[in-house]
Each structure stands twice: as C-alpha cells, then as structure tokens.
Copies of this chain bind each other. A is one copy, B any other.
C-alpha cells in the first residue's frame, strides 16, 4: 500500500489554471469512514463555484482537493463500518465541499455517503451521477412528490441535473415538457423521455402553458437553472402547484407575491448539505442505492459528453464553465 498519492488541488481560489498536481499522504479512514481508490469523478457547477471562491463556506480548507462525485473501489474500511468491504465497487459524494474531495488517487469519506455502484454501466461512468442524480431525485421526490400523470416542466433539460430530471420524471410516469434553446438540445431531451419540447427563446410562457398543460399551468416546474427562470417558473406553474429549484444566486430579491397569488410551494435542494453538516449522511447512500437500482433496471443512464484525465481538470472546468455540452463532463483517474 502506497503512503503517498497524487492530488489535484487548488492552493488559492482562481480560474481554471489554479489546479496543481501535488503529492500528499494517503489519508486513513476514521471511525465510520471508508477509503476509496478513485476511478473517476465529474464536474458540477458547485466545483467551479468553489474554485472561483464564489461560495467559500462550502470550500474544503486550502489547499483544497475538489471533486464532489466519485466512483472507485473500497480500499480500507474504518472502525464500525459494516456496509462495505474492501474490494466493493462504489460510487458516492463524500466531499469536495465541506471536506477534501475526489480529484486524487484516494478519497476518504463517511460510509453513509456511498452506495454500491450500478453494475450495468462502467464503474467510471457512475461518477457522472451522484450530485446531479441526487439533486434531481430530491427535487422530484422530497420536494415535489411527483406522481403518475403529473405534468412537469423541466428547464435546462440537456444539462447535468436536467437530463437526469427528464428521465426520472418520465420514469415516475409524469408528462414531461422540456425546454431547450436549440433543436439539438430539444432532440436530446426527447430521446431522454420528454413527451414534448419547447423552444423558450421563441415561445412565451402563456403559449407553451396553453399547449402542454391542462390545468392552467404545470403541476410542477423543475428548475435546475435558477436565474430568471424562477420568475417564469411561477408563471408556468398551476395554482396550488410546486416549483423546485437548486439555485439561489439570482434569487437575492425574489418577490413572494407570485407564490401568494397562486398558493404555491417552493422547494430548494442542496444535496451536499449532510456533508457540510457532518450529520445525516446516510440519506445520501440510501438515495444512491435507489438510483443505482434504476440505472440497472434501464430506467436511467448518465450521458457523458466528454472525458478528461484528472491531469486535464483545468481544461474540463473551462469546458464546463463555457456551458456548451450535454449531460456531464467526466474526469477519469488515468
């Protein structure tokens, strides 16, 4: 067993060039923790927001190893851990925010933040899932509690959270309307299970509500984009409906008047919360088990747009920040 490993870290907040490859000690799992030999990670907006210094409360201590998503093989098991054995193939969300992350040869995290990886897709690809699938899952189940026949409007359907949201909502038996700014994005959404697609750049809310929603609006608006989408979400949702979102940046001065006018519900999801709090981590692993079961049953698959080696993480972040991709950008520990 090596005592040192490579870690792709930032010594200070900055642009994508901030990443450096350092040699650091291999961490040991404490009680209740496991150590995982990292196969892959992926890029999520939370990663580059941390890197930029936009959300310092979420950042691991500097120098910081980023990377919230991970897949790999269990390599050591801390005291009191019964759920995993050395050699298990797992995926999880152990750190990258709140504590050191996955862009290294090994990562240590609370056992509750892992689950057995899906067996029907390559282990590396499983690293595309945790943050986006947990987010979409909590939006649709905990917050919106969607059911068969619900009409769901999905913004940003070709993005990380969105492309999982379309598949999950479809699997829950919802009628899914997906927005996309280009024909290619809308076609992609249709292949994921969207029953209808909308070019929101040329169609106003009133028009697509009247075409695709039957009760004066959608039962649920799924917004993984935030910004000004939240305003149109309140327009597009029906009276007594629900809006679920992940973002708060642009919502600094949100008016509640539209929520009052329609007697609405708003749910905001932050999946990394148990890692930040250092408690309740088991919910992550339990949800990842459910998600893995759906993947193995053919209901859900991550779409990987491009793969980068850990050494090329700067380039991967640049592509992610540019926004011109579908699904996820994977980082592989070559």
Binding site for B on A (CB under 8 A): 138, 142-143, 148-149, 170-171, 173, 175, 193, 195, 239-240, 247-248, 251-257, 259-271, 273, 277, 280, 289-290, 293-294, 297, 299
**Docked-complex contact B240 and A142, CB < 8 angstroms:** yes
**Docked-complex contact B255 and A170, CB < 8 angstroms:** no
A147 to nearest B CB, angstroms? 10
- Enumerate the 3 nearest inter-chain pairs by beta-carbon distance, A residue then B residue, closest first: A248-B260, A251-B256, A248-B256
Which residue of B is nearest A258, CB measured?
B248
List residues of chain B with CB within 8 A of the CB of A262: 270, 273
**Docked-complex contact A259 and B248, CB < 8 angstroms:** yes
Which residue of B is nearest A147, CB measured?
B290
**Docked-complex contact B143 and A173, CB < 8 angstroms:** no
List residues of chain B with CB within 8 A of the CB of A270: 260-263
CB < 8 Å neighbour of A239 from B251, B260, B265, B273: B273
List residues of chain B with CB within 8 A of the CB of A271: 263
List residues of chain B with CB within 8 A of the CB of A289: 149
**Docked-complex contact A265 and B264, CB < 8 angstroms:** no
A79 to nearest B CB, angstroms? 14
With A148-B290, A290-B148, A290-B149 given, is the CB distance from A268 to B259 under 8 Å? yes
CA distance A65 to B206 in the complex (A): 33
CA distance A247 to B247 in the complex (A): 23
**Docked-complex contact B247 and A260, CB < 8 angstroms:** yes
A300 to nearest B CB, angstroms? 11
